[in-house]
Amino acid sequence: MKQHLLFPIAFKRAFTENEEDIVVLAGDIGGTKTNIALCRISENGVEKLKEARYVSKDFRSLTQIIENFSAEVKPRHICMAVAGPVLDGKVKFTNLPWELDSDIIESELGIPVSFINDLESTAYGLAALKENELVTLYEGDKDAFGNMAIIAPGTGLGEAGLYFDGRSYHPFATEGGHCDFAPRSEEDIELYRFLHLHHDHVSWERMLSGAGIFTLWQFLTEVKGRVSESWVIEKMKESDPNAVISQAAMENKCLVCMEAMELFKKYLAYESAQLVLKTKATGGLIIAGGIPPKILPILQRGEPWSDFFIHRNGRMDAMMRQVKVQVVMNEKLPLLGAAYYAAFNG
């Protein structure tokens, strides 16, 4: 490709010289929404020809959405990023009455179909990333190389790895966001006990997600006895509590909201470090998802990210100092990654 890749992602095949542009249909399916786009892939990158957003529950199947989208140009391949595990081309949603089977949909539409995990797709989307879409939280060692890792707090908590073969990166999905929360301090233990009252399984996703922000605020008010601003409580009745809390914290208007978001930052750094250790991601950590771009000032201010990320790993602190940490400001990476996957891995 003529396009300069910030991250050399491994694909099964490359765009060959004099090859015609590739048209694919890409999507990002969640429990609440489905983003879908007809994309043209050329030697200069990806171009979205048509794009739409659907409320997932308003449709009985993914096939119905694709037919409703009715692109004028028939795509060569369809690839959809999905939140959750993909097993043998099949997907079951926990919060959507759909069961997807790539073979069945391929037969219905007459077009090759692939499903991949949304964090795996996010990793493939790094191929489309521009330099101005990255913000560095910690520089690390510029000469360090090796595997990479991606963590993405949003509706849930997604995690993925990228194996480095010495030349390029090979994305792979994980379900690490559902691993057990690991308390380290007395306050962490208090938080665990609070969460365990409501959930048999206390995972990192319980706090590192949209709903997790409100959970941290509840912990501070119900267990630690903090008193939030009355207008915050009133606003929560008519608006998304998580957005109310994060916005109040960004504007320095509520001390409890600010404390809740500092806890969010601390736990995000803790679990990011765990993911780096498990994947030996000396090549860098990418923070993606819907939440980080919206709360970037919070991630940048207060106690440095490095204090939580590096100085809590015992004998591994020296390795952690090498790891560059960057936030992705482009929330469409799963869709772009699905487009690249359809073009070069499908």
DSSP string for 268-285: HHHHHHHHHHHHT-TTEE
* Contact present, 102 and 113 (Cβ < 8 Å): yes
Residue 43 region by backbone torsions, left for phi larger than 0, else alpha for psi between -120 and 50, else beta: alpha
* Contact present, 65 and 36 (Cβ < 8 Å): yes
Instruction: Say how far apart CA 86 and CA 151 lie, in whole Å.
Output: 18
Instruction: Say how far apart CA 101 and CA 138 lie, in whole Å.
Output: 41
**Per-residue confidence (pLDDT) for residue 31, from 0 to 100:** 73
**Per-residue confidence (pLDDT) for residue 117, from 0 to 100:** 94
Any idea what DSSP says for residue 199?
-
Q: What is the pLDDT of residues 1-59, one digit of tens each?
A: 555 578 999 998 876 766 788 999 999 998 778 999 999 998 888 899 999 999 988 99
Q: Where are the alpha helices (DSSP H) in the chain?
A: 62-69, 102-109, 118-125, 186-196, 210-222, 230-236, 241-250, 255-279, 296-300, 305-309, 317-320, 333-344
The yes-or-no answer to whether 22-127+333-344 and 133-329 have a common fold is: no
**Per-residue confidence (pLDDT) for residue 70, from 0 to 100:** 74
Tell me how far the alpha carbon of residue 74 is from its chain's centroid: 29
Q: Show the low-confidence residues of the chain (pLDDT under 50).
A: none
Strand partners, 184: none
**Per-residue confidence (pLDDT) for residue 213, from 0 to 100:** 97
Instruction: Say how far apart CA 207 and CA 216 lie, in whole Å.
Output: 7
What count of Cα atoms within 13 Å lies in the side-chain half-sphere of residue 109?
28
CA separation (Å) from 31 to 21, 69, 177, 268, 275? 32, 19, 17, 23, 25
What are the b/e assignments for 173-191, b being 16+ CB within 10 Å? bbbbbebebeeeeeebeeb
- Determine phi and psi for 129, rounding to 5 degrees: -75, 140
CATH of domain 22-127+333-344: 3.30.420.40
Q: Domains of the chain: which residue ranges? A: 22-127+333-344, 133-329
* Contact present, 154 and 293 (Cβ < 8 Å): no
* Token pair listed for 295: 């709360």
**Per-residue confidence (pLDDT) for residue 18, from 0 to 100:** 67
pTM equals: 0.93
Q: Amino acid identity of 72?
A: E
Tell which residue, 254, 335, 242, 218, has the closest CA to residue 291.
242
Question: Does the structural domain 133-329 have CATH classification 3.40.367.20?
Answer: yes
Instruction: Say how far apart CA 71 and CA 69 lie, in whole Å.
Output: 6
Instruction: Say how far apart CA 80 and CA 338 lie, in whole Å.
Output: 6
